[in-house]
Structure 1
Amino acid sequence: MEFVQISKHVYKLTYETVIGIPVKINTWYVVDGEVVYIIDTGMQDHAHMQLNAAKFLGIPKSILLTHGHLDHINGAKYLRNELNIPIYAHENEIPFINGEKPYPNKAKKETTGVEYQVEGLSDNIIETLPLDVYLTPGHTPGHVIYHHKDDNVLLTGDLFISHSETLHPPIKKFTNDMEENITSGRVIDKIKPSIISSSHGEDVKYSEELYTIYKFIYE
């Protein structure tokens, strides 16, 4: 496990788990005064570490999800029960989180443990956050990313898998529409963040060539 501060207001918890294969999972904590926003919840068997990290930094305010896949939502039930805080996701993602229908590329519906407990990221909610929210469909229909403007850090969920200097697409098997996902990735050239931090991989410094190379290789 590694717990690091990646900017003035943003912290990252990294651990490795096995989901068929060994997988590195990153979750984030955004500090805003005395309160803390938890971005994604990883796996339930590591949720106690997330609880400790969030409480160490301040008063947990809410859980913000990039999307509803197991490795992003599995710890949400534990954290909600322990902290009694709301969980938010894009409204396009909620039917899949609720198990009302399976993701388009999956045969089975998700069992998240937080069915009908996740609220939509309405404009009124987003206005209260120290983050901008961007809808980036493709990996899932309601996938979003979070941009901390003051620190210029972009938390990208599964929009990319990242290495130290390069971006790669998410695993095709778990991605609804890869073409749409690659198109969504162009948002980094609109935002121009200093740091791109993905759920699986290392943080990457932004450059103007980054998306161009990614698009050329994978489109």
Structure 2
Amino acid sequence: MIWLVIPVQVWVVEEEDGVTLVDAGLPKMAKGILGFIEQLNAGPLKRIVLTHGHADHVGAVEHIVKGKEVPVFAHAKEIPYAEGKILYPKRKKLEQNLPNGLTQSLYELAGELQNVGSLKPVYTPGHSPGHVVYYHELDDVLLAGDLFTTRNGKLHQPMPMFTGDMKQATESGISAINDIRPKLLEVCHGKTIDNPFDGITTYINQMEKTLKAKLN
């Protein structure tokens, strides 16, 4: 699914009770997403989880859930930004990308995010204040949203134009890869990376140069 020349990926995860949709892309992607879920024949859509609330990740949500009792989850810190109550970092105007009250907070217990279906949420702020990635342990895949982009088969920084705090996003990305060490990394804007931990040292060195150059 393509937005201009930039790929926009969403993910459908098979569960015991149906499927979980991770992110919802742009509004024009709604028909394709619903058609794919129907064609998959793995059961009904049971829930939508969001990595964050930027427009290219939530644009089709309202159409997808229309007429259905499908809960939508995001990090509690992200919801007021996505609902247009708080200004996203580096933005000049409020963005109401989600209607008020549609999205509920991911469950937390003793300060730790709880699994949603088969997915483990991991808080990774920086690209946006409440950015979350989702780890699918069974397949050893990390669905990383905008935590990274990829280029030439390597980890690359998230898009600077849309990243609120690049230093924090970099730290979140390095921590997630070091802690989880997934077999596969999926990003919204880019191609799959095999064994991303193998490239984390190169990424660290690259980002140290990038952040240093930005400060100078």
Q: TM-score, normalised by structure 2?
A: 0.88
Looking at structure 1, the residues matched to 205 and 144 of structure 2 have their Cα atoms a distance apart, in angstroms, of 20
Give the TM-score normalised by the residue count of structure 1: 0.87
Q: Structure 1: which 5+ runs fail to align? A: 1-14
Deviations 1:84-130 (A, max 9, x none): 31110000101111110110211111122422210000137834521
Q: For 1:98 and 1:207, locate their aligned partners in 2 and report how far apart those are by CA, in whole Å.
A: 33
DSSP 3-state at the match of 1:83:
coil
Structural RMSD (CA) = 1.6
Partners of 2:10 and 2:24 within 8 A in 1: yes
User: Structure 2 CA distance, aligned partners of 1:78 and 1:149?
Assistant: 30
Aligned length: 202
Q: Which residue of structure 2 lines up, in the alignment, with residue 183 of structure 1?
A: 171
Whether 1:153 aligns to 2:141 is yes
CA distance in 2, matches of 1:128, 1:198: 19
Question: What is the aligned-residue identity percentage?
Answer: 33
Assess if the C-alpha contact under 8 Å between 2:126 and 2:163 holds in 1. Answer: yes
Tell me which residue corresponds to 1:4. none
Are the counterparts in 2 of residues 185 and 211 from structure 1 also a CA contact under 8 Å? Answer: no
**Once structures 1 and 2 are overlaid, which stretch shifts more, 189-198 or 159-168?**
159-168
| Structure 2 alignment gaps of length 5 or more | 209-216
| Aligned-partner residue type, residue 70 of structure 1 | A
Match of 2:57 among 49, 69, 72: 72
Which residue is equivalent to 1:9? none
Conserved? CA contact 1:38–1:60, under 8 Å? yes
Asked if 1:16 corresponds to 2:2, the answer is yes
**Which SS does the other structure have where 2:145 is aligned?**
coil
Residues 171-197 of structure 1: per-residue CA shift (max 9 Å, x gap): 111101000000001111210101000
Instruction: Summarize the Cα distance change of 1:106–1:28 in structure 2 as closer, same or farther, 3 Å threshold.
Output: same
Counterpart Cα distance in 1 of 2:161 and 2:64 = 28
